[in-house]
Amino acid sequence: MTGASPHTLRVTLSGDDRPGVTFALLAAVAEAQAEVLDLEQMVVRDHLTLSVLLGGADTDRLTSLAHSVGHRLGMRTRTRVGQGDSNTRRDGRAHVVALGQPLTASGLAAVTARIAAHGANIDRIRRLSRYPVTTIELDVSGADVPRLRVELATVAAAERIDIAVAPAGLARIGSRLVVMDVDSTFIQQEVIELIAAHAGCEEQVAAVTERAMRGELDFAESLRARVALLAGLPATVLDEVRDEIVLTPGARTLVRTLKRLGDTVALVSGGFLEIVGPVAADLGIDHVLANRLEVADGRLTGRVDGEIVDRPGKAAALRRFAAEAGLPLSRTVAVGDGANDLDMLAAAGLGIAFNAKPLVREQADASVNVPYLDAVLFLLGITREDVEDADADAGTPTPAPPVISPGNPTRV
């Protein structure tokens, strides 16, 4: 614009939120034929902060117009003259997501202190959810993502909050493949222990399961040993066990939301297809891989039918499902809790340990230690409002915020 000022003006209005504030400011500065170079607005409860970077006009006139709007609206107005556009954000952009129940000020202080000590800058902050957990996302620049992930893992452990660090950019946008373990991840129980209870050997099986999940035993060998204890049980016991399955709180919400976003969902289990298959079918899950129990004359033989789904098998399944969906591994997410899931978590673009054993938490990209599986959505940058909007579009009633109390996770 001929004769336009080479200077820019940053205008910030703050005060009670109400409709029309943004319009009032922009309409006023439009009289001076100002150009909008940058614009950001946020509301915390009922307090609004609006900041706009203006150019292309006389800064003195813009300052006068801005203060006039602020005075008329009863808002605080701050202006600052500068030159040029907003600074270009540095390389090394990342999303840092922190969630907790509760999310404490001391925890967030430790996160932001570590980011600053890392030499990175926080560009933007927003809340992703207020229930069933509080989740805050920080957009960061100037980060070495792998190193920052390691540094913040230490903070997460010390402050008892969950933190995920993911590269920003196109890798976070578009379709995903989400692969989940089943026992003690997608469901609350260990299926083989439920079956073992009918055979009177639950304690023996549980002890072997625990050692296998800690990585102390080879999974395939431990599975064969546990299944051998089930020999002679009538196959009808599987129908009874299926009725005993309890989904992890938030499991239905997680799957429903991912499917409505166009994502592919899979269950990969060291458990048994006879139990997992119907659960997956009921929820519209795309892929299922699990072991089969051998049955002869209507009774369990105590053997597994076919190749065992073990630690390498889970990772291979993730790669196969990704290839079938036409997705690179960077677009995959894996969720699990035991040593048997480590290869799958390592192979995925984002590996999430869900209420996991210490060995798994140490090696995963991110960890969730609240009892709600739908908290995984927030680590992917999906907000609580996005979930509710998806439900509204599909005509699904949005459940009321739960009464959160330890030992009483009711969300499904």
Domain assignment present for residue 309? The answer is yes
**Residues paired with 134 in a beta bridge:** 100
Same domain for 330 and 244, yes or no, is yes
Instruction: State both tokens at 291.
Output: 């072991």
Q: Which of 181, 263, 341, 374 is catalytic?
A: 181
Name the residue among 320, 322, 297, 317 with its Cα closest to residue 307: 317
Is 144 among the catalytic positions?
no
Q: How far, rounded to the nearest angstrom, does the alpha carbon of residue 145 sit from its chain's CA centroid?
A: 17
Residue 168 counted as domain residue: yes
Out of 173, 198, 220, a domain closes at 173
Residue 356's CATH number:
3.40.50.1000
pLDDT of residue 397: 56
User: Domain of 109?
Assistant: 94-173
Rounded Cα–Cα distance for residues 389 and 393 (Å): 6
Contacts of 339 (CB under 8 A, 6+ apart): 212, 213, 214, 215, 219, 311, 357, 359, 360
| 350-354 vs 366-368, strand pairing mode | parallel
| pLDDT for the residue numbered 218 | 82
* Three-state SS at 42: strand
Instruction: Check whether residue 245 and residue 376 sit in a common domain.
Output: yes
181 as an active site residue: the answer is yes
Same domain (yes/no): 13, 148: no
**Are residue 210 and residue 328 in the same domain, yes or no?**
yes
Tell me: do 268 and 295 sit in the same domain: yes
Structure tokens at 345: 């978590």
pLDDT digits (tens, 9 = 90+) for 349-371: 999 999 998 889 989 999 999 99
> Which three-class secondary structure state does DSSP give residue 265?
strand
Q: Please check whether residue 77 is in contact with residue 118, taking contact to mean a CB–CB distance below 8 angstroms.
A: no
What was the pLDDT predicted at 410?
A: 34
Starting from the edge strand earliest in sequence, which strands make up the sheet with 287-296, in order? 299-305, 287-296, 264-272, 177-180, 332-336, 350-354, 366-368
Domain end point (choices 83, 105, 134) = 83
Whether residues 350 and 217 fall in one domain: yes
Assess if residue 39 is contained within a domain: yes
Give residue 132's pLDDT. 86
**Residue 143's CATH number:** 3.30.70.260
Residue 20 in tokens: 């029309």
**Contact residues for 216 (Cβ-Cβ < 8 A; gap 6+):** none
List the strands of the sheet with 47-55, edge to edge: 35-44, 47-55, 7-16, 76-83
Report the distance separating Cα 255 and Cα 280, nearest Å: 10
Given the residues 17, 58, 162, 183, select the one marked as catalytic. 183
Please check whether residues 182 and 165 belong to one and the same domain: no
The verdict on 251 and 109 lying in the same domain is no
**Domain end point (choices 83, 107, 137):** 83
Q: Give yes or no: residues 215 and 362 share one domain.
A: yes
In a domain, 405, yes or no: no
Give the pLDDT score at 6: 75
Question: pTM for the complete prediction?
Answer: 0.80
pLDDT value, residue 211: 81
How many distinct structural domains can be found in the chain? 3
Regions of the chain where pLDDT drops below 70? 1-5, 86-90, 170-172, 393-412
Structural domain includes residue 206: yes
Same domain, residue pair 197 and 247: yes
